[in-house]
Amino acid sequence: MRTTGSLQALFITLVAGCGPVVDAESSGDGGAMDDGPEGMTGTTGDETTEGPSVTTSPGPDSGPGPDSGPDSGPGCDEIPQGSETFSVPLSVIVAWVDEDGAVTSCADACTAAGLTETWDYLDCYVSHPDWPFPGGGGSESSGGESSGTGDTDGSTTGDATAGDATTGDPEDPVVDLTCDWSQICGRGHAGLRSDGRNQAVDPVGRWAAKAAHAEAASVPAFVHLGRELMAHGAPAALCARAERAARDEIAHAHLMTRLAVRHGAAVPTPVVEPLPVRDLEAIAVENAIEGCVGETWAALEATHQAAHAEHAQLRATMRRIAIDETRHAELARAVDAWCRTQLDDAALARVDAARARAVERLREQVGAHPIDVARATGVPHGDAARRLFDGLAASLWA
């Protein structure tokens, strides 16, 4: 893993390269992040709004946990995913199909076609013997949320004539829209037994509730990290930084819960199984995946939101969170550096391989937030997200 200067400076530079920040005056309520690092202050850890509690599961008898192997990452059992094909008149989705036959918004097209699953990552494509119209060719048109070939197997819903592309109005032919979806686990750890999925109707509320769940779940993660570091003889200052991070996450959970409630969403209660002190390699692997990759990307996302969220109140909230999350990313790098003084070369190779796999998983997931969520919350979307990822990867993970 590369060394670099201030992560905060790096994040602000990368975000600035993605376009101008929100004009505070035009939004009517001020507060855009245009002052640089000195204009940002973190949370104090003493927020009073009630956030989600954490449920402790009974332990080993509760069944297998979400750590299903080196390629899945802590906190993720099997990523919920699926594929549905909808046979619909072209008029149902034509608003999101460009002149070349490409779907410009999988979120809108799949929703219009009948997709009801909640999702974080979505890809889609259209199939028809004469697609794209006009011109024949019989090709499949890949969708606009992210790249991928998809899978045409899956359930089919819609018109009674679905599946027969030759029936119906010749001016409004029936086409097959295949929507491939998956749900991304939030920041996790080996003891986490829940993933934050919720059924909120409002997309911003659904996003905020999942974020609040992730923040609340991070509290016991950092508490346990501090205890494990202490048990392995890590410097006291490193253990203290983990304890401070836990306090930060309490405040973040309060802030995100407040936003979720305003948008009519209920925050799922994190379920965490107590863990023993693990061996140092297991700690280092989890830190590489969740801290050096996951937490670092989350910090960059928060920095982007602090500049681009639609409303000043959310921009101010994300400024506070971005400072703390950046400090947590720095903590992950410090933990990684200390572990490297304790582990042998074979163990370090396994840590590096786990981090590399996490980077590749993240590469496949970035930028797939629904466009309405991206506009409202400022989360990076589409090409902007991919540019941020590429800049981060080149700076830290190359």
Domain boundary among 182, 212, 230: 182
Q: How many domains does the chain have?
A: 2
- Cβ atoms of 145 and 368 closer than 8 Å: yes
Rounded Cα–Cα distance for residues 14 and 8 (Å): 10
Domain boundary among 130, 164, 182: 182
Structure tokens at 17: 């390269």
Domain around 382: 7-77+187-397
Instruction: State how far the alpha carbon of 244 is from the alpha carbons of 46, 165, 248, in Å.
Output: 12, 60, 6
Q: For each of the chain's 398 residues, which pLDDT tens digit applies?
A: 665 568 999 999 999 987 655 443 344 343 333 333 334 456 654 444 456 665 555 443 333 333 333 343 334 434 455 678 999 999 999 998 887 778 888 878 888 998 876 555 567 888 888 776 654 333 344 444 433 333 333 333 333 333 344 445 677 889 999 887 655 444 456 667 666 666 677 888 888 998 999 899 889 999 999 999 999 999 999 999 999 999 999 999 999 999 999 999 989 888 877 788 999 999 999 999 999 999 999 999 999 999 999 999 899 999 999 999 999 999 999 999 999 999 999 999 999 999 999 999 899 888 877 788 889 999 998 899 999 999 999 999 98
Looking at the fold, whether 307 and 206 belong to one and the same domain comes out as yes
Rounded Cα–Cα distance for residues 305 and 310 (Å): 9
For 83, phi and psi rounded to 5 degrees?
-140, 130
Looking at the fold, whether 66 and 131 belong to one and the same domain comes out as no
Looking at the fold, whether 174 and 301 belong to one and the same domain comes out as no
Looking at the fold, whether 31 and 156 belong to one and the same domain comes out as no
Q: Would 149 be classed as within a structural domain?
A: yes
Q: Would 325 be classed as within a structural domain?
A: yes
Looking at the fold, whether 124 and 228 belong to one and the same domain comes out as no
Looking at the fold, whether 240 and 366 belong to one and the same domain comes out as yes
Looking at the fold, whether 67 and 198 belong to one and the same domain comes out as yes
Three-state DSSP at 369 gives: coil
Q: What pLDDT is recorded for position 1?
A: 65
Going along the chain, which residue ranges are E strands? 55-56, 81-89, 121-127, 141-142, 155-158, 174-182, 271-272
- Cβ atoms of 175 and 161 closer than 8 Å: no
Predicted TM-score (pTM) of this structure? 0.65
Q: What pLDDT is recorded for position 116?
A: 73
Domain boundary among 144, 166, 182: 182
Looking at the fold, whether 40 and 90 belong to one and the same domain comes out as no
Q: What pLDDT is recorded for position 44?
A: 53
Classify burial at 238, counting beta carbons within 10 Å of its beta carbon; exposed 0-12, middle 13-18, buried 19 or more.
middle
- Smallest CA-to-CA distance from 257 within 207, 307, 296 is with 207
Looking at the fold, whether 160 and 100 belong to one and the same domain comes out as yes
- Cβ atoms of 1 and 336 closer than 8 Å: yes
Cα Rg for the chain, rounded, in angstroms? 22
Looking at the fold, whether 162 and 280 belong to one and the same domain comes out as no
Q: Would 2 be classed as within a structural domain?
A: no
Q: Would 389 be classed as within a structural domain?
A: yes
Q: What pLDDT is recorded for position 204?
A: 85
Looking at the fold, whether 66 and 122 belong to one and the same domain comes out as no
Query: Which residues are CB-contacts of 126 (< 8 A; sequence separation ≥ 6)?
Result: 93, 97, 101, 103, 132, 140, 141, 175, 176, 177, 178
Instruction: State how far the alpha carbon of 107 is from the alpha carbons of 182, 264, 373, in Å.
Output: 13, 21, 11
Count other Cβ atoms within 10 Å, centred on residue 327: 18
Q: Would 1 be classed as within a structural domain?
A: no
Looking at the fold, whether 195 and 65 belong to one and the same domain comes out as yes
